[in-house]
Amino acid sequence: MAKVLYVDFERCIGCRACILGCEECSGHDHLSRMFVDELNPGETVATSPTPCMHCYTPACAESCPVQAIQVLDGVVLSASHEKCIGCKNCTYACPFGIPLVDESKKLMYKCDLCFDRTSKGVPPMCVSVCPTDTLMFIEEAEAKTRMNKPVQYQWDFGGTVIETRTVIGIPNTETHRYGYNEVEGFDHVE
């Protein structure tokens, strides 16, 4: 079994080093394939990163009319430059909103888990630079069964369940808010 991305949501500080780091991978043409979202701006400073989820049955690849998106050793690769026609089917098909299209080149680009790094056994750039270890690159079995908190890797989109190789660590919102609960600000005394 190969290594996968594990995302420990509660550690994200929203610094976007992953986004900038992604641009630094030599195969990435300085185009970042990483996303960071503010969960509820104004209510909380909580943020979370969204990398490619590397689905077992990737909708992006299935929707591609020219079979430009290959899966190699469990990594859903960026579209082949030779084949891609920039039609954006993949961007509409992906339930996580991951593939983007470079309008100037009419080419799709997405996370390939930094193929030039991971093929040498070195973690992808987003994981390498992440200051808080929100993003980790670990064995799939470990990520899915041996973490110290509940994890999620199956996603129900209106009855269609998608299983992903990327695993999300779910914060324990009973002991900590981590900004995920709706609250009336914090407890200060005026």
Residues that bind another protein (CB under 8 A): 10-11, 13-17, 19-21, 23-24, 26, 41-47, 116-117, 120-123, 125, 128-133, 148, 176-179, 183-190
Q: Tell me the chain's radius of gyration from C-alpha atoms.
A: 17
Kindly tell me which of 83 and 176 has the beta carbon lying closer to another protein: 176
- Alpha-carbon distances, residue 123 vs 12, 49, 178 (angstroms): 18, 17, 27
Burial class (CB in 10 A: 0-12, 13-18, 19+), 180: middle
Kindly tell me which of 16 and 144 has the beta carbon lying closer to another protein: 16
Shortest separation between residue 185's beta carbon and another protein, angstroms: 4
Shortest separation between residue 103's beta carbon and another protein, angstroms: 18
Shortest separation between residue 117's beta carbon and another protein, angstroms: 6
C-beta of residue 12 within 8 angstroms of C-beta of residue 179: no
Shortest separation between residue 17's beta carbon and another protein, angstroms: 5
Structure tokens at 129: 């630079």
